[in-house]
């Protein structure tokens, strides 16, 4: 059995530092680290540096290359998106579009990687469809969405100093992060 730590990449947030989706992502990554994973976050500030994805081989920038290099190493990914007009935000979708760079890899796209999903919206209507969108995208990219996804009504659920004020939602984030790590650990053990 391999003793290598699972490597979990987080993608999420908005251009506003400290957004609910960013804080939820960072909390999930903290739980993943507590569960024994190495983690790396690509928050809104990093994602905002990514130009619109262009498949032209000469167009890759340093931030895009860093994202793809990390995703290639990843055993699992956690995606945390705000709900914008019933869907995943453009910032998050653009980062996901960069995964097209992995189309010819031996491990195509997100093949075999566990994918955790978080959707944050100001109300009860938005998180459900966005959570579904993240899961459908994970399937399209050959990833394995965790059984638990986390939908957060940011009108009701507040984050402060990296902590979630709602105990039930905080527990859901912890469980989802543990599922990402546990699945990644099983894949590592199976692949040796």
What CATH fold (topology level) applies to the domain 7-191? Rossmann fold (3.40.50)
Beta strand segments in the chain, E: 7-12, 38-42, 76-84, 87-88, 114-121, 144-145, 150-153, 159-160, 163-164
pLDDT tens per residue across span 74-123: 999 999 999 999 899 999 999 999 999 999 999 999 999 999 999 999 99
The DSSP letter of residue 6 is P
pLDDT tens per residue across span 18-75: 999 999 999 999 999 999 999 999 999 999 999 999 999 888 999 999 999 999 999 9
pTM flag (> 0.85): yes
**What are the extents of the domains in the chain?**
7-191
Query: How remote is the C-alpha of 165 from its chain's centroid?
Result: 21
CA distance 30 to 36: 10
pLDDT tens per residue across span 114-162: 999 999 999 999 999 999 999 999 999 999 999 999 999 999 999 998 8
């Amino acid at each position: 059995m391999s003793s290598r730590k699972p490597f979990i990449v987080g993608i999420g947030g908005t251009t506003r530092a400290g957004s609910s989706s960013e804080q939820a992502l960072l909390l999930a990554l903290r739980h993943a680290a507590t569960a024994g994973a190495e983690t790396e976050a690509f928050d809104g500030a990093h994602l905002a540096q990514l130009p619109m994805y262009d498949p032209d081989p000469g167009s890759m920038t340093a931030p895009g290359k860093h994202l793809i290099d990390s995703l290639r190493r990843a055993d699992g990914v956690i995606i945390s998106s705000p709900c914008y007009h019933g869907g995943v935000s453009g910032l998050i979708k653009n980062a996901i579009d960069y995964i097209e760079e992995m189309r010819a890899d031996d491990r195509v796209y997100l093949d075999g990687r566990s994918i955790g999903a978080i959707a944050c919206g100001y109300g009860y209507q938005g998180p459900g469809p966005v959570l579904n969108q993240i899961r459908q995208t994970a399937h399209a990219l050959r990833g394995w969405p965790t059984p638990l996804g986390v939908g957060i009504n940011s009108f009701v659920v507040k984050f402060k100093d990296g902590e979630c004020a709602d105990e039930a939602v905080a527990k859901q984030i912890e469980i989802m992060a543990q599922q990402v790590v546990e699945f990644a650990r099983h894949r590592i053990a199976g692949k040796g």
